[in-house]
Amino acid sequence: MHQLRTKATTEQIIERVVMQRRPGDLLSMRAAVRRVRSELPACELTDAELVEPIARRALLRGCSISFDLEAGGNGFAAPLES
């Protein structure tokens, strides 16, 4: 049950973070994840797990998204080198 409460809280924080942007604004994924973590330090989701709900909410808000999270940290896979 604790995980469900954390998930709802995480969703509420994501909503608040995204709603601070105006439609058409550019949302930095790195800044959004950092903001969620600053407001909910006990968040059990990895950065990678936070990306999808943040991006989904931002797109619904009409924001552009900068996927500028650093690879390899907190669940993010490093890109393949060519």
And the tokens for 49?
């797990």
Q: Is 76 helix (H, G, I), strand (E, B) or coil?
A: coil
Residue 70: its pLDDT value, please?
80
Between CA 59 and CA 5 the distance in angstroms is 25
Between CA 10 and CA 71 the distance in angstroms is 22
- Within 13 Å and on the Cβ side, how many CA atoms surround 82? 0
Helix or strand holding residue 50 (H, E): helix 47-61
pLDDT tens digits for range 23-38: 999 999 999 999 999 9
Q: For the chain, give every domain's residue range.
A: 2-66
Mean pLDDT of the chain: 84
